[in-house]
């Protein structure tokens, strides 16, 4: 699994339409009324990567397997969710389990599509959800602080350090701010606390601006407002038209290409959502390539060769001897693995090697 991304937003902003397009299914019900999604829908999505299919052209394997990511369509949230309003508690429990958040924001006007707040204001919508997440995190921090303070009174140094970290985090949350932008300032103890409490506002976020067809080609005032807001947080913004993406998802490949050309688009907007998710979580892809199968694998940047091997099978990690590595660019240029070997472009790497994006690897192991 590449990563797990929760699709969140106010009710009726296009989350389920986006989910259906991403997963190319009708698994998530999409309808024009709030709280259409109650139980979270989960979909496995193939990661588009041209490199995989270029390798397949060279190797001509029996099977080609892309890496995948998981998207979770989570119930819409409203004001008061942190206190249980709407489907709040359920929403917050579901979001706690995801690695990253794709926050869908409505950036178009349409009188036929109701808005839970009665008007279109993307920044207000973002702040509504962020505020509820902050309140829930504050509740978690205060509860933990109350317990740890009792231990710290006995002179426990570890507890005292945690109290200091919790108070720093509490101060940020009391200002109504998310923890994510401050992770580098709260120290090692603070980061440990954030991880243990699984704080909602510490999760990486991308904002998905859902526009109408016209808004795809020129930023409207709503998209500009979202970009300005996201800039302050250092968060990325991806612009899509969920309605068009849903239509594209239902077309066969040939018709899909023709439709994209008609629209003046090079690729579906969903590809940008997936790529931005990769960047958000600092993920990279390596490949294994042989006659039986050419396969893509997703790992965190900085992963060492044995741990990358463990993605394939735990036995390979346990019995790791070395990795035979070819850069994707070298393999494509030379045209075959043998040609790379002949030119000395296959490297032998040991246990300390950090796998790079695009590496084509054959693992030697002995169990």
The tokens of 41 are what? 């829908």
118: left (phi over 0), alpha (psi -120 to 50) or beta: left
Q: Can you tell me the distance from the alpha carbon of 118 to that of 219, in angstroms, rounded to the nearest whole number? A: 23
3-state secondary structure of 250: coil
Q: Is residue 269 marked as binding?
A: no
Chain centroid to CA 111: 31
**Which of 288, 293, 107 has the alpha carbon at shortest distance from 213?**
107
Write the CB contacts of 34 (distance below 8 Å, at least 6 apart in sequence).
11, 12, 76, 78, 86, 114, 116
Q: Are 101 and 205 in contact (CB under 8 A)?
A: yes
3-state secondary structure of 364: strand
Q: Is residue 79 marked as binding?
A: no
Q: Report in angstroms the alpha-carbon separations of 331 from 4, 141, 289, 294, 295.
A: 31, 51, 11, 13, 15
Measured between alpha carbons, how far apart are the two ends of the chain, in Å? 25
Q: Are 126 and 226 in contact (CB under 8 A)?
A: yes
Q: Can you tell me the distance from the alpha carbon of 349 to that of 355, in angstroms, rounded to the nearest whole number? A: 9
Q: Is residue 366 marked as binding?
A: no
268 φ, ψ (degrees, to nearest 5): -60, 150
DSSP run (H or E) holding 6: strand 4-8
Q: Can you tell me the distance from the alpha carbon of 268 to that of 249, in angstroms, rounded to the nearest whole number? A: 9
Q: Is residue 116 marked as binding?
A: no
Alpha helices, DSSP H only, in the chain?
A: 15-23, 50-59, 88-96, 122-152, 157-174, 187-197, 213-217, 221-233, 242-249, 253-263, 269-280, 305-312, 314-318, 328-334, 337-342
Q: Is residue 25 marked as binding?
A: no
Q: Can you tell me the distance from the alpha carbon of 206 to that of 264, in angstroms, rounded to the nearest whole number? A: 25
Q: Is residue 47 marked as binding?
A: no
Q: Which residues are annotated as a binding site for ATP?
A: 12-17
Q: Which residues are annotated as a binding site?
A: 12-17
């Amino acid at each position: 699994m590449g990563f797990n991304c929760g699709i969140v937003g106010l009710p009726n902003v296009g989350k389920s339409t986006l989910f259906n397009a991403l997963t190319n299914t009708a698994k998530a019900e999409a309808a024009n009324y709030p709280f259409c999604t109650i139980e979270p829908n989960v979909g496995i999505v193939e990661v588009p990567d041209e490199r995989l299919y270029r390798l397949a052209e060279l190797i001509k394997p029996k099977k080609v397997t892309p890496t995948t990511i998981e998207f979770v369509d989570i119930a819409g949230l409203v004001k008061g969710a942190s206190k249980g309003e709407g489907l709040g508690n359920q929403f917050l429990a579901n979001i706690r389990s995801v690695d990253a958040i794709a926050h869908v924001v409505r950036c178009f006007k349409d009188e036929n599509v109701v808005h839970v707040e009665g008007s279109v204001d993307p920044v207000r919508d973002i702040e509504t959800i962020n505020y509820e997440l902050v309140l829930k995190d504050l509740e978690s921090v205060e509860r933990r602080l109350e317990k740890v303070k009792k231990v710290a009174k006995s002179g426990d140094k570890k507890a005292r350090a945690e109290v200091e970290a919790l108070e720093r985090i509490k101060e940020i949350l009391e200002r109504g701010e998310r923890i994510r932008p401050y992770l580098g300032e709260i120290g090692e103890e603070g980061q440990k606390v954030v991880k243990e409490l699984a704080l909602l506002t510490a999760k990486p976020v991308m904002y998905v601006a859902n526009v109408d067809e016209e808004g795809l080609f020129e930023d409207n005032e709503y998209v500009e407002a979202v970009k300005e807001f996201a800039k302050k947080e250092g968060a990325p913004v991806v612009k899509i038209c969920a309605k068009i993406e849903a239509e594209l998802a239902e077309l066969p490949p040939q018709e899909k290409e023709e439709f994209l050309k008609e629209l003046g688009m090079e690729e579906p907007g969903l590809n940008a959502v997936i790529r931005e998710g990769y960047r958000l979580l600092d993920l990279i892809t390596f490949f294994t390539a042989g006659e039986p199968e050419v396969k893509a694998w997703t790992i965190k940047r900085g992963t060492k060769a044995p741990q990358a091997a463990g993605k394939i099978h735990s036995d390979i990690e346990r019995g790791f001897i070395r990795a035979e590595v070819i850069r994707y660019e070298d393999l494509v240029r030379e045209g075959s693995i043998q040609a790379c070997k002949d030119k000395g472009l296959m490297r032998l790497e040991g246990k300390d090697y950090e796998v790079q994006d695009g590496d084509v690897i054959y693992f030697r192991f002995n169990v």
